[in-house]
């Protein structure tokens, strides 16, 4: 099996973990978790310089999930990468569990930012990237934003900061699935054209299919060659990707599957 096929297989496992979590909790956000699953799979199983046995390793790459409500995708990657036992995924959103609706860096090994309100992740990523430069570290910082999230003004203040400090160790990824909780992003508060906006803020732009593993890998490779400015990868994705009845449906932004739907989803992801 080649590298691409291996990662595609892992991505299906990650997606099953997402469905297991949201179904077990009868709560959570499957749509955006499924749309970002391929990107996170490439990051955690190919790109990131990390060590599950030493999650606080000072020289590790950092990954900020700014759209923190999509924690099921992050938890599924961390569990399958060896940061904690996959059986813990079924405790998702339980009051006694470490795996809460938004990731907590003080409770979950491998989480680099505690998230809550949207719009804050790029500011944190900037700080980590600046610290890396001040400390002469070689680590890279990755920050995943939702396309609805970039309607937040703080994102654009942070984008100016990324350019000002020439953060070429920073790679922003926009999960452009075109849907947020109330409908399409055009209907709610259109951020289009996303690529031109980030370009005007001084970013190097890479447009990709966010479900094509090969394209994702190549985009990260290109990002590492960019000097003197940050990179923004605009990943065109499908909300609910991998589960046919969830795909491109805004209603699955924050809804848990019932038993019959759960069984159908797991069947499709085998």
Kindly report the pTM of this predicted structure.
0.97
What SS3 state is found at 130?
helix
Segment 191-202, tens digit of pLDDT: 999 999 999 999
DSSP E strands, 44-192: 62-65, 141-146, 170-176, 179-180, 183-184
Give the structural domain span for 132. 3-268
Q: How confident is the prediction for the chain on average, in pLDDT? A: 98
Q: What is the mean pLDDT of residues 221-227?
A: 98
pLDDT band at 145 (very low <50, low <70, confident <90, very high): very high
Q: What is the mean pLDDT of residues 227-239?
A: 98
Query: Using CA atoms, how far apart are residues 124 and 250, in angstroms rounded to an integer?
Result: 28
Q: What is the mean pLDDT of residues 146-174?
A: 98
User: Is the pLDDT at 1 greater than 90, yes or no?
Assistant: no
Q: What is the mean pLDDT of residues 176-187?
A: 96
Query: Using CA atoms, how far apart are residues 115 and 154, in angstroms rounded to an integer?
Result: 14
Could you give the number of structural domains in the chain? 1
| CATH number of 116's domain | 3.40.50.970
Segment 17-37, tens digit of pLDDT: 999 999 999 999 999 999 999
Q: Which pLDDT belongs to residue 116?
A: 87
């Amino acid at each position: 099996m080649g590298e691409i096929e291996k990662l595609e297989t892992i991505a299906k496992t990650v997606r099953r973990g997402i469905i297991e979590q949201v179904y077990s909790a009868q709560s959570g956000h499957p749509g955006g978790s499924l749309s970002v699953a391929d990107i996170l799979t490439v990051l955690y199983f190919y790109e990131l310089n990390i060590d599950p046995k030493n999650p606080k390793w000072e020289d590790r790459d950092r990954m900020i999930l700014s759209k923190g409500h999509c924690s099921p995708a992050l938890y599924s990657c961390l569990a399958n990468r060896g940061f904690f036992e996959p059986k813990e995924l079924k405790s998702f959103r339980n009051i006694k569990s470490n795996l809460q609706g938004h990731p907590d860096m003080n409770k979950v090994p491998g989480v680099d930012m505690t998230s809550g309100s949207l719009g804050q992740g790029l500011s944190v990523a900037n700080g980590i990237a600046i610290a890396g430069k001040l400390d002469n570290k070689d680590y890279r910082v990755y920050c995943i934003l939702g396309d609805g999230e970039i309607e937040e003004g703080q994102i654009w203040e942070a984008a100016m900061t990324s350019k000002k400090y020439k953060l070429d160790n920073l790679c922003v990824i926009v999960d452009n699935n075109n849907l947020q909780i109330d409908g399409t992003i055009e209907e709610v508060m259109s951020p289009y054209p996303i690529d031109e906006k980030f370009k005007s803020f001084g970013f190097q732009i890479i447009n990709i299919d966010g479900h094509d593993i090969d394209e994702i890998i190549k985009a990260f490779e290109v990002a590492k060659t960019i000097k003197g400015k940050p990179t923004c990868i605009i990943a065109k994705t499908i909300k609910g990707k991998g589960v046919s009845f969830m795909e491109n449906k805004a209603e699955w932004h924050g809804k848990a599957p019932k038993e019959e739907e759960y069984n159908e989803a797991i069947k499709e992801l085998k």
